[in-house]
Amino acid sequence: MTRPTLVDVARAAGVSRATAARVLAGGANVNVQMSAAVEHAAKTLGYETNSAARVLRGGRAGAIALIIAFNELDSLAGTFFTSVLKGAADALYASEIQPVLLPADHDDSDRIPRFLRSRAVDGAIVILQHEITHLAETLATSPVPIAWVGRPRIALAPDAIVVDSDNYGGGALAARALADIGRRRLGIIAGPHDMEPARDRVRGWRDELARLGIDSSSTVHGEFTMESGSAAMARLLQRHPDLDGVFASSDLMASGALRVLQASGRRVPSDVSVIGFDDVVVAATSDPPLTTIRQPLEDMGRVAAETVLAVIQGRQVDRQPILATTVVQREST
Amino acid sequence: MTRPTLVDVARAAGVSRATAARVLAGGANVNVQMSAAVEHAAKTLGYETNSAARVLRGGRAGAIALIIAFNELDSLAGTFFTSVLKGAADALYASEIQPVLLPADHDDSDRIPRFLRSRAVDGAIVILQHEITHLAETLATSPVPIAWVGRPRIALAPDAIVVDSDNYGGGALAARALADIGRRRLGIIAGPHDMEPARDRVRGWRDELARLGIDSSSTVHGEFTMESGSAAMARLLQRHPDLDGVFASSDLMASGALRVLQASGRRVPSDVSVIGFDDVVVAATSDPPLTTIRQPLEDMGRVAAETVLAVIQGRQVDRQPILATTVVQREST
DNA sequence: TGCGCCCAAGAGATCGTTCTCTCAGCTGGA
DNA sequence: TCCAGCTGAGAGAACGATCTCTTGGGCGCA
């Protein structure tokens, strides 16, 4: 009933442990007959390398931790990082690396560093959400490389791995998209003040509008949620009842804004154009479907995984790649 | 630069390896001073048990595989199993067990059984979606216990671990909820024929309506997606333009049905009542918010985790728990 | 006072793989 | 024909924690 070991395989094939290991490792410098015998024995016995033994011997753990805030996982906001998760997991799958989930929002804040010290994983990917940015401090002294998807509030070491999308460029894209269709009375629903990506989107938006000679002063803030988007939209309408274009800097906020605009009797897009940011599932399923600035979330996850793997293997790579944002044209503009 | 081992801790504390191990394992039969010295040394050095060594020596891997279809992860349907995932991960966290993600929808179908044979995990939880039911065959001979969340198409061994919600009872609940508010011209959008849970919902619905003396014959089928729900609703309306109540047996289908009803000029709930099934995020965010039959998804994940852990530890537990469904009253009825 | 028992702590073996070292045998060139 | 060099295969050690076995010392009871 015990699982077969390398010794069992070697015995069955009539060779030594070492030879069997050589065959299974790739088979350089091994007699063809022996090689075949070993392969056959391994298959017959249903042999699979004991990963603990391999790791102990000095190999890589063959696993990467994915650190995410579980509280948000099953909300609409969760589709943000399920996309990243998927990209990361796909890339890891291709390299035969196991993704190990680590909830970031539990009380026991020492648990994550402890886990990283146990050598159970070779590296980690932090999929950043608002609440877990505090991890940056805790993980500063991690023994294994860590990739951040999205830039945390706190300053990281200069050689930190950070995968981000071009938030500044995305803000500019949103400005141009609205300007190009003739909108001139514009407002922005910005994200939380304390998030750098949120601020970058605003900067891109303002700089581009300034370049185009359009007023960019009307700004309200939301918290990247649907409700806060609705509330922000209401405030914006109160101040500027005549506006004809809104950039909501997240799709959830845009979708909340849509409802308020429609409830106020305005039609989207004929009266007011709305453009979102992220391109998560809600963007496609809202009514009307949202034109939005797409962050390549899945690519970001994939790149984060590939980068951290490269660093683990000692390869030289760009440690702070910035992925391009693009306009996804739907029906809200 | 190398991580400290137990030997380092023992040396720093001036004791033997064995004593240090005893202290860190819980500290029975150890002198108080030595115990304190070991604890201190471990803390100072930042010692953390090497999990590979512990596992190799015969311990448990301390990890459970979570097998899910990644393709759906970042869609709206994904909120179904992100809830289960969250419940499972929370339960595992409480037992200091690591959740390891295993994508179920890749080409290499041998990869999952191989992984389970490598002793890297002590058990597995399969979060079932339509497409991955074929895994039941592949995993029949798994060396570690597997918990199924949702019942697969294929017959499992009688001692298999299956966590499911009361689909039959849920169907009956839906029937009663609509009957109670006076609806009599009812239709059902059933799920795929080949899924047992989908059939159970229909049976519960029909049996309850029969008991109440209400006609239960109008049935159309969908594929549990929003689009298929819209299409099914259109067919149902064509056949029964006068209906006043619909049970869509998933929230996604209900939300698709809502749109078609509204587009046809009917108001929900004043003209037609709609009740969904699942209680995923879309139910709360659709317009109007959906009354629905709640599956306790997070609980199902939690129970699956607890059950598989119990089986691993050799404890006696109910291997096929069925969790109750409940009515969540919102604004579509 | 002496014997036996119990408790605390160390020594050694073990888990399964991988890697290095060693050795035997064969080939080829001088 | 002899030796150098190479190739293929086995023996042994190491990874780090844990568990059993052993030993020494102290205490209690007769």
pLDDT at residue B127 tops 70: yes
Which domains are present in chain B? Answer: 6-49 (no CATH), 63-165+297-322 (3.40.50.2300), 167-294 (3.40.50.2300)
CA of B309 to C1' of C7 (A): 35
Count residue pairs from A and B with Cβ separation < 8 A.
132
* Closest A-chain CA to B83: A74
Here the tokens at position A98 are 């196991």
Q: Which residue has the tokens 């929002």?
A: A105
Q: How far apart are CA A101 and CA A87, in angstroms?
A: 14
* CB pair distance less than 8 Å for B93 and A106: yes
Q: Higher pLDDT residue, B148 or A73?
A: B148
Q: How far is B322 from chain A (nearest CA, A)?
A: 22
Q: pTM, whole model, 2 decimals?
A: 0.90
pLDDT digits (tens, 9 = 90+) for A53-110: 999 987 788 899 999 988 888 787 788 889 999 999 999 998 889 999 998 877 777 8
CB contacts, 8 Å: A3 with chain B: 117, 119, 143
pLDDT at B130: 65
Q: How far apart are CA A271 and CA A262, in angstroms?
A: 10
- Other CB atoms within a 10 A radius of the CB of residue B317 amount to 14
Here the tokens at position A18 are 């070492």
Here the tokens at position A80 are 């943000």
CB contacts, 8 Å: A52 with chain B: 51-53, 55-56, 61, 119-120
Q: How far apart are CA A257 and CA A250, in angstroms?
A: 10
Angle among Cα A157, A162, A166 to the nearest 5 degrees reads 130
Helix (H, G, I), strand (E, B) or coil at A66: strand
pLDDT at residue B216 tops 60: yes
pLDDT at residue B98 tops 70: yes
CB contacts, 8 Å: A46 with chain B: 117
Residue nearest to nucleotide D16 (CA to C1'): B53
* CB pair distance less than 8 Å for A120 and B99: no
Question: What is the DSSP secondary structure assignment for residue B67, as one 8-state letter?
Answer: E
Here the tokens at position A40 are 């056959």
* CB nearest to A56's CB, from B52, B82, B102: B52
Pair A272, A266: CB distance under 8 Å: yes
Here the tokens at position B32 are 């108080």
* Closest B-chain CA to A143: B3
pLDDT digits (tens, 9 = 90+) for B285-329: 898 999 999 999 999 999 999 999 999 988 899 999 999 999 999
Q: Tell me the C-alpha to C-alpha distance, in Å, between residue A255 and each of A262, A277, A289, A315.
A: 11, 11, 9, 43
> Reading across the β-sheet that carries B326-328, which strands appear in turn?
B219-221, B186-190, B245-248, B273-278, B291-294, B326-328
Here the tokens at position B203 are 């049976």
* CB nearest to B82's CB, from A3, A82, A118: A82
* CB nearest to B119's CB, from A3, A76, A98: A3
CA of B212 to C1' of C16 (A): 65
